[in-house]
Structure 1
Amino acid sequence: MTARTPFRRLAVAPIALTGVVLAGCVANTPAGGSAGGGIAVTSSSTDCAVGAASAPSGPVTFTVTNSGDQVTEFYLLADDGLRIVGEIENIGPGISRDLVVQAQPGDYFTVCKPGMVGDGIGKTVFTVTGDTVQLPGTLQEQVDAAAANYVAYVKDQVAQLVVGTQDLATAYAAGDVATAQALYPRVRANYERIEPVASSFSDIDPALDAREADVAQGEAWTGWHRIEKDLFPPAAADNGGVTYVALTAAERSSYADRLVADTQALADAVNDPSYTLSIDAISNGAIALLEEVASGKITGEEEIWSHTDLWDFQANLEGARVAYEGVRDIAAGKDPALVATLDQRFAELEATLSRYGNLQSGFASYTDLTPAQVKELADGVNSLSEPLSRLTATLVS
């Protein structure tokens, strides 16, 4: 993972309707703009063509036209490619809709999602130039926008998780161990980024993510870690002195089907029209993700069979960063010193972890770390956790 560029943020206007214009603003008219002054975006089944690669800071309108045969979505992502800073959903074939954002200077990504599944297509850098602009709206409106954007991020991660889990389940049930092993830590990243959200559904999270040591006697053990143990079978010495017996084809199929079903239950829960999150829940989620790293990933106890703990560490850290950045501007207005500290500590921990790999090319096995390296990572987690623990109190004060 490379060093991050300075933070870039957008405040999303709570408007995403055809023909809407922000009152009192001057329309952006860069090359490729639509006739109405916005930036034309064409979403097809194979591409996401954006009519301009940049715009000046301030109100920016993307006019998204669906030229394909599936319902599509359009996203504007932060420079990490994860945090959703603007989105417009349910654009039917032949329909055009506008996304209006208040853009701060920096680099972003545009992406379309035909069929509204997977991680999208046509991901392209989009740059905003000029000076910083003031966040629009009242504090409550900013809070509401932060909550809406984070819920959109959660839905996006779960949507990607649904697709990836099906791929993993298919390979695993078919006995394609090599493919399933390669998919296991990559697909789990989508889950680990929003783990506190999953944990809030008390009937779903244990079914998906219970470790063997956490399963009470007599209860069924299902989910990721049951499959992990079968994909990365332990030696007898690491299995209580008992030789591990591989699951049968029928058992693999049963566990794979259950994983898919429970993942879909999570998707149904976060896509319920009544589902929302308060700003304190978002910041507490960031705090909880660092606690997850401290209690399981940094100790090697989470992925005890595959030793892919650093993958989870990275995903937890990314999820915490997304939650924090979503409320950062609000916190900055109340405690700029805390925000400066958090910016620095996030960057330092990310730089330390990047020495061991990344989610694209893979991470070192946890078993390859020396005690000194584990301590260095733990010290970085502790250094970030302390100021992060003060974020919620700052936001709600």
Structure 2
Amino acid sequence: MIKNEQFWQHWRAGEFEKALNCSLGQKPKKKGALLRGISETNAITGISAGEFLYDYLMIDPTVVKGIDFARAEDLSHLFHLSKFSNTIDTTVATGDMAQLQGYVAEQMIAQQLIAVGHDVSFPETSNQPGWDLLVDGQPFQVKCGQDKQIVETHLEKYPDTPVIVNEELGAYYTDNPLVMTSSVSREQVLVDTQKTLQHAEELLDFQIPWIAAGVSTYTNAKRMRKDGITLKTVTRNVVTDTVSRTALAATGKLALGAVGSVLLPGAGAIIFPVVGAYVGVAQGGNLARLIKRQFARSEEKTFCLSLHALIDKMQHMLAVKEGIKNDKWQLLVGMLPNPTQSPLDKEHERRLKLLSNVKMELTSIKKTVDENPLHAFERIVQVLGKVGIHAFTLRKELSEVEQAMVAYGKKI
């Protein structure tokens, strides 16, 4: 259940807009009254009920079918866990329990993806072959375990479907662009599954920690979208501590690890090469680079073309995301009672406005590519931190940018 009593007071009174503006949880009145620690509590109180319900319902709009969403009792039924807990032996890590752990891993990963702006959907049936999540329209399989054979088996059977794995498995696939590493650990999944089934009465008790973890993990991503942290600033810090290209190449991946996880979480094999190429070019002085550009016109033209192609693909993906949101919203709005539609519609319009603003920003950037491609790339990467476009959907274009930038860097 949503733990903010003020939310329920407004909801029961029919003051839906006021209710949805409330935070998801209440700050503890006493210093020691924390269930899972200060950071998680702050994350929960930093999310509005409207943001949470919009994201929750947009994953699967059909969850409201057959209930009176405006009634507090029916709303709380959305989060009930009894259909799982009544039939599962939490002491056995096989059979139903293993199935539920897979469900938990999928939900935790989905919430973390949502936290950075991705549009996530689950298949209509639980036994959908080959994939477990749609992320920005791209199918992904989710694997959580300790034996990498479960990943190998999937890649053999479905070589074109990428996989999102837990932290432990991710260590085996740092250079594989088909495998994305989440920040979810297998131990966390096992412990949270058992604790929740033993003590939690409602699904929301189960999911708030996942959402909080996603928000906490990607605080920097949200700050980037809000405050405009730039790749140039981060790179300047890296270059300041580096004395040569050789040293930079050796330390760049580690130094930019945080940047990669903020911009395109879990996709290091896709993002690190292009960011590394940028660092190699950006460490030179502006005046020296301006002079050397005269001798790199062919390479610069190829670099510019690759940036135009990347922007075009990003524009396409924004249109895909807009379509996903509108299709889900149309399905959802037909099942919501009229009094609750308007407040949630405002949240929906806010999300669409963000996409629209990013489209305009990309259009503006595209006009500057031929004049200053390196600066244009800096701005493109900043946009990637503002809106969730999964790196896998841009892998071809990012690879072409990386190759073109490396060739360009050798000349300047």
**TM-score after normalising by structure 1:** 0.30
Structure number having the greater strand percentage: 1
Q: Radius of gyration: which is bigger?
A: 2
Instruction: Answer 1 or 2: higher relative contact order, Cα 8 Å, separation at least 6.
Output: 2
**TM-score after normalising by structure 2:** 0.29
Structure number having the greater helix percentage: 2
